[in-house]
Amino acid sequence: MEINCMGEVCPVPSLKVRSLLRNLKAGEELKVLVDHSCAVGNILEQVPEESYQRAVNEVANGIWEVRKSPFAFLLYATP
């Protein structure tokens, strides 16, 4: 599943992710595209560390790609 939150400011991306996480089934992946750094932090805050692994990598200037799957939450970010 993929959601494009480019141009949306906080808390919109975080609220959308929270809603989608409730419906994500085992083995499914959620990919979220954001272009606001505050969204990255807000998304990470709502994902429990004990249930998901998290990592950060640069992909493009000002573009963040957030991926979430059961037991693997990967955040690809740029400063």
Predicted pLDDT of residue 73: 44
Torsional sign, CA 53, 9, 23, 28? negative
| Domain spanning 2-76, CATH architecture | 2-Layer Sandwich (3.30)
Residue-wise pLDDT for 6-55, tens only, equals 889 889 988 998 888 778 776 677 777 888 888 888 887 876 666 655 55
Can you give the pTM of this predicted structure? Answer: 0.68
What distance in Å separates the CA atoms of residue 54 and residue 67, rounded to the nearest whole number? Answer: 9
Task: Kindly write down the DSSP assignment for every residue of 17-68, as one continuous string.
Answer: HHHHHHHPPTT--EEEEE--HHHHHHHHHHS-TTT----EE--BTTBEEEEE
Predicted pLDDT of residue 69: 54
Per domain, the residue ranges of the chain are 2-76
